[in-house]
Chain A
Amino acid sequence: MVMSEVRKIKFKVFRFNPAVDALPTWKVYEVEVDRGMTVLDVLLKIKEEKDPSLAVRYSCRQAVCGSCGMMINGKQRLACFTRVLELNSKVVVVEPLNNLPITRDLVTDFSDLFNKEKMVKPYIIRDDIEEMKNPTGMYLQKPEELLEYLQFADCIECGLCSSACPTYSTDHLFLTPMILNKAYRFSVDSRDKGLQYRLPIIDSEHGCWRCHFAAACSSVCPKGIDPAKSIQLLKKIITSAGIFKRMRKKEVQLTLRPHAAEPPT
Chain B
Amino acid sequence: MKESTKMLLHYITGFLILITGATHLIANNLVRFNWIKDTLWYPMSQGVFLAAVLYHAMNGLRVILVELFPGSSSGKIISIILTVVGIIFFVFGLYFLLVIFGGR
Contact = CB atoms under 8 A, between A and B. Distances in A.
B68 A170 contact: yes
A172 B69 CA distance: 9
Contacts of A239: 4, 8
B82 interface: no
Contact of B4 (A170, A173, A203, A212): A203
A203 B7 CA distance: 11
A243 B5 contact: yes
B68 A203 contact: no
B3 A209 contact: yes
23 contacts: A171-B67, A171-B68, A171-B70, A173-B70, A173-B71, A203-B2, A203-B4, A204-B3, A205-B3, A206-B70, A209-B3, A209-B4, A209-B7, A210-B66, A210-B67, A212-B63, A235-B4, A238-B4, A239-B4, A239-B8, A242-B2, A243-B2, A243-B8
B75 interface: yes
Contacts of B75: 205
Contacts of A171: 66-68, 70
Contacts of A172: 70
Contact of A210 (B2, B4, B63, B71): B63
A152 interface: no
Interface in A14-56: none
A181 interface: no
Contacts of B63: 209-210, 212
A162 interface: no
A173 B67 CA distance: 9
Interface of A: 167, 170-174, 203-207, 209-210, 212, 235, 238-239, 242-243
Nearest to B10: A209
Contacts of B3: 203-205, 207, 209
A165 to B, nearest CB: 11
Interface in B1-20: 2-8
B70 A170 contact: yes
A205 B62 CA distance: 10
Contacts of A173: 70-71
Contact of A170 (B2, B7, B67): B67
A18 B67 CA distance: 27
Given A167-B67, A242-B2, 20 more contacts: A170-B70, A171-B67, A171-B70, A172-B70, A173-B70, A173-B71, A174-B67, A203-B2, A204-B3, A205-B75, A206-B66, A209-B4, A209-B7, A210-B63, A212-B63, A238-B4, A239-B8, A242-B5, A243-B4, A243-B5
